[in-house]
Amino acid sequence: MRENLEKAVAELACEDFPEEAMFKLEQNVKMQELSITQKNYESLFELDEAFHQTIFEGCGKANVWAAIQQMNVPFQRIRFLRLAADFN
């Protein structure tokens, strides 16, 4: 479900996306790169979540993001543990 919603929101973002939100995404990517360099998987996880949230918010779909987050707790744990394993 998340994958389908993210694809739809990404298409919306390609059509019309606020400049301020784009700036936040660019900053986020730079911080993710730094987190990778520093092998800080906790920061990388948080930044990745914020990246996706920014896209949803930039498209006026903050409520959809909130609904996804409520259903995503087990998936988030798996993603976090995978990042931790990848860095070790």
- Number of structural domains (the chain) is 1
Backbone phi, then psi, for 17, in 5-degree steps?
-140, 130
Range of the domain at 31: 2-87
**pLDDT exceeds 70 at position 88:** no
User: pTM here?
Assistant: 0.84
What would the mean pLDDT of 60-70 be, rounded to a whole number? Answer: 93
Q: pLDDT tens across 2-61, in order?
A: 889 999 999 999 999 999 999 999 999 999 999 999 999 889 989 999 999 999 999 999
What confidence score (pLDDT) does residue 69 get?
Answer: 87
Burial class (CB in 10 A: 0-12, 13-18, 19+), 2: middle
